[in-house]
Structure 1
Amino acid sequence: MTPLAGAEQLTQSIGLVAAAVDGAPVDRYENPTPDSEWRVKDLVNHIAMMLVLTRDAGARTASDPALLTANPVPVLAGRPESEWALVVNGLAEPAAGAWSGTRAWQGEAALGGPPMPAEALGGILVAEFAVHAWDVAVATGQRLDVPESLARAMLGTYAREAPRMRGLGLLADEVPQDVHASLFERSLALSGRNPRWSSPCARGGKGCN
């Protein structure tokens, strides 16, 4: 993956997740997500954290340590949930912009942990932001259209990185895939998501709006 292609894909992926958060009604922030431990508001909080860490990683600047422990993260603290989408959208462009130049994809970079090859980290960010866009969308009843080129890049990343990420506790076990699954569905399965997951809220589940 060339730096130019990586930067374009990361901009696409961040755009998807920002749009999904923007389209998620605040009254659905308590809805469950494909990650059984998180509600939508927990996921939005995580996405905000990731965007700040992504910006700092691309710029090779140190991040606020509180990002990894505070809940909500500092950029959301004190803000009503009705403003969280606005904050996330404000973080999206700087995060993508920090990876727009060739230098961001060279050498090593870190995302709140040990440094790793920047190209590999950039690929992981592309995949993770797109998956989180799906998490938000499917939990709040939105449609998500992922370009095939982006889905192909995601699949390649998870095929390489999922075993290591799973060993670090960053991904759940791979979900068995349908023989006719799309590239994006195969990526979701490798990331530990069930591509057929649907919100219990669509079926009148308790604690849903």
Structure 2
Amino acid sequence: MTTRTGDLLAAARDRALPLVRALPDEALDAPTPCAEYDVRSLLNHLFHVVVGFQALAAREEADFSVTPDRLSVYGDAWRARFEKETELLVDAWAAPGADEGVTGSMNLPARTVGAMALLDLTVHPWDLARATGLPFSPHDEGLRALEELLSAMGPTARKTGVFGAPVPVPAGATAFEALLAGTGRDPRWSRPAA
């Protein structure tokens, strides 16, 4: 039986939220494994994804062309707001029929679009953890769904610049490290020395 997207997102949210709650304000300017993002801009990107994919679950359009600075808008309450938005994301994808049919301007299967949200909610917390030295581990069942997504969408994502070129998988790599390498991340990336 295939696990519903809402259940996979709930498990990913439950892994991501402790990390987000623990992020220190003084780390917001730190570099991340995503060269174009520091911690603050990556959090704003993740916020934007979480909100946009709520709309896609409801068969509404989402505009990803401009990323709002939600951390500035919400001030000291941004962590609580992120928690609320991820709850809304899970609820949207748990709604009856959310996994069925197609959604979004690319007219992709809804299950594929939901897996894209799952990818962001799994990989970006790792980026944040690596940038700040905090612990993070993904949910195993979600990883299996993401391996399927990477296999199906990886070439297109690389062509459009969403993923970087695959990184060689180190010997003894875990399934998660292989997934990270497939998205163009160095699974052994570490914070620059101070």
2:103 maps to 109
Work out whether 1:79 is the aligned partner of 2:74. yes
Q: Distance in 1 between matches of 2:103 and 2:150?
A: 19
Structure 1 gaps of 5+ residues are: 205-209
Contact residue 11 and residue 96 of structure 1 kept, 8 A: yes
What is the percentage of aligned positions where both structures have the same residue?
Answer: 27
2:184 maps to 192
Q: Distance in 1 between matches of 2:67 and 2:21?
A: 22
Aligned pair count reads 194
Query: Where do 1:145-156 residues align within 5 Å?
Result: 145-156=137-148
**Pairing partner for 2:66 from 65, 69, 74:** 69
SS, match of residue 192 in structure 1: coil
Give, in angstroms, the shift of residue 70 of structure 1: 4.5
2:32 maps to 33
1:88 maps to 82
Contact residue 13 and residue 127 of structure 1 kept, 8 A: no
Which residue identity is paired with 1:99?
A: W
TM-score of the superposed pair, with normalisation by structure 2 = 0.91
SS, match of residue 103 in structure 1: coil
Inter-CA distance 78–101: structure 2 relative to 1 (3 Å threshold): closer
Contact residue 47 and residue 88 of structure 1 kept, 8 A: no
Give, in angstroms, the shift of residue 117 of structure 1: 1.0
Structure 2 gaps of 5+ residues are: none
Q: Deviations over 1:67-123 (max 9, x none)?
A: 631441xx545332x32222111101011110013411111112xx42311111112
Which residue identity is paired with 1:104?
A: A
Give, in angstroms, the shift of residue 197 of structure 1: 0.3
SS, match of residue 54 in structure 2: helix
Q: Deviations over 1:156-199 (max 9, x none)?
A: 22122111111111111110002321110000000111000011
Give, in angstroms, the shift of residue 13 of structure 1: 1.7
